[in-house]
Structure 1
């Protein structure tokens, strides 16, 4: 089982003892679903845009396999001396830069991390949060023979390791000092990372908005590498870190939808008493997103995806262990690379 480091000399497991409990049902109103022609619950989404926190991590299923090993050089987060001075670096590079170079950088599809340098020891460290089983598995499920419900391999976790690969971050991306903190602040941050990693466990690729307008309703927020870095920066600010005036941009992949329609969870849709018509519709929607063996197969399925998402305005979203129907609308999907300013602490900042 892969693991990442916690504060001190302990490791932070990415697998727990059992499957998390189902989310609590929210109150809402009933209306007819275009997919199932049966009543489904519409939940006002304004308060549901954030990913749910869990009490523990479920065990990863052996069926889920990573092409690239998760956190191969992961190590324990060291306990720093309180009087140490730690430099904090913003790290950003194109996704899959190690394989494709700057290809995805031209599309501004970027991966984010944070670096640390200890003044007392001279050692450098990198911390990031990403998928256990690669992006595709976190975005779309497997349709396994003999299983009614789509099968998800969508956990993400933090990874901490010694060293900063300067060439990786500098060549096509960013490596810039954003703040300086004390060893005591670093140790408090490490405790928070342990909590954050144990309770925020599922990777969510999509942000879902009502329109491209910056003030539009965000139905669902993504939960990926950049969100972890933003949470880390905010924690450091709350601990007293004062950030430099550096512009910080992040990638978001946005779906545009009318008000989402709540459909149910795995049991209510795919269980013995589930909605077979809705279950078939969800499986049929995800089928074209499977891995493709030939170019012809890819283009055939691409046409099916265009037909469903653009021509028929349909998308099924799996979020917080529940399924939602998204009535898609123009411009359907957009990749943006926009500034999110460095944070200001929620309490009086103190110098290092």
Structure 2
């Protein structure tokens, strides 16, 4: 009988403890991933490795340095234009327009002076380098060298033929000089805060959970429109604009290491080297244009790896694996 009483007493004590102690879920110091994670912020633009170079086409060759951005009177008027052109139009003409692969930019027309200004955000070291690392062999082992930065480029003039011929040049707003000056201040801050490019959108499936958002030219334009709206700009809601996304579909991503820890795990490093080596001798244009032909590769491997916020994530791919989307995003202010 005493044994039964002892057991009952023990169960009573345990029940009391369970009622007053927090559960393991609430005391876990490792928070569950928040999807999609925010792009990491910086207080200044990191210095790029001397190994990284822009290649044939330098970044922003005719762009204005930060201190040379024109200031206008607070009461001046500027027209704001949304501008689109096919990616790599200089090389492929309107070919990528057929796939809805478009580059986005913003144009400004200063009414009082007649001056035009173009602003666009793109890769410092070209798209392939922002999407896949270089494999540098050091002491019989590989280093994953990323040449990945993006930035806003501002230059005088608007090449109307370039934007109109195969794309879009449409007026979306009329702002004051005060809004424009404050927007330029915002763009300088944004340039230092978000210095890295991200090609991929990663989702659980069409219309399902977004695991990772892209950080590209279209993302910057949408962010810029929001900033202008916060500063007081009103947008023409009759204008409808679509934006390109390169989407990968996968189950919930798995964190496998960061830019330092992968070098302490030879198996993970070998996996990443093998994966990225597959893409080393291909141009980004070739990868995008022939991505659907890689369906057999996805079917065989069902794995993809991305580098986001200086962390490596493994994707367990699900059908349809890959898709190019061109969806409408309303201008700010639409209810």
TM-score (structure 2 length as normaliser):
0.84
* Corresponding residue of 2:22: none
SS at match of 1:56: coil
* Rounded Cα–Cα distance in structure 2 between residues aligned with 1:234 and 1:304: 37
Cα distance change on mapping 1:170 and 1:231 into 2, 3 Å:
same
Question: Structure 2 stretches of 5 or more lacking a match?
Answer: 1-28
Q: Which residue of 2 aligns with 1:309?
A: 298
Over the aligned positions, Cα root-mean-square deviation in angstroms equals 2.2
| Contact 2:218–2:243 under 8 Å retained in 1 | yes
* 1:34 alignment counterpart: none
Once residues 156 and 342 of structure 1 are traced to their aligned partners in structure 2, the CA distance between those partners, rounded to angstroms, is 23
Which structure has the larger Rg? Answer: 2
Is the 2:115–2:157 Cα contact (8 Å) retained in structure 1? yes
Counterparts of 1:1-150 in structure 2, within 5 Å, are 27-28=30-31, 43-48=32-37, 50-66=38-54, 67-75=56-64, 76-146=68-138, 148-150=142-144
Match for residue 318 of structure 2 among 312, 329, 337: 329
- The change in CA–CA distance for 1:228 and 1:304 in structure 2 (over 3 A counts) is closer
Q: Counterpart in 1 of 2:184?
A: 190
Of the three residues 242, 245, 265, the one matched with 1:275 is: 265
Secondary structure, aligned partner of 1:232: helix
Query: Once the two structures are superposed, what CA deviation does each residue of 1:144-187 show, in whole Å capped at 9, x if it has no partner?
Result: 12153311111010000000000000000000100000000000
Residue aligned with 2:35, SS = coil
Check if 1:261 corresponds to 2:254: yes
Question: Is the contact made by 2:252 and 2:315 (CA closer than 8 Å) also made in structure 1?
Answer: yes
Contact 1:53–1:199 (CA under 8 A) maintained in structure 2? yes
Task: Identify which of 194, 211, 215 aligns with 2:205.
Answer: 211
C-alpha distance in structure 1 between counterparts of 2:125 and 2:196, whole Å: 11
Distance 1:236 1:77 in 2: 17
Asked whether 1:158 is paired with 2:188, we answer no
2:218 is matched with which residue?
226
CA distance, structure 2, for counterparts of residue 284 and residue 336 of structure 1 = 29
Number of residue equivalences: 295
Aligned to 1:17: none
Match in the other structure for 1:173: 167
| Kept after mapping to 1: 8 A contact 2:295/2:321 | no
Bigger helix fraction: 2
Distance in 2, matches of 1:308 and 1:109, equals 23
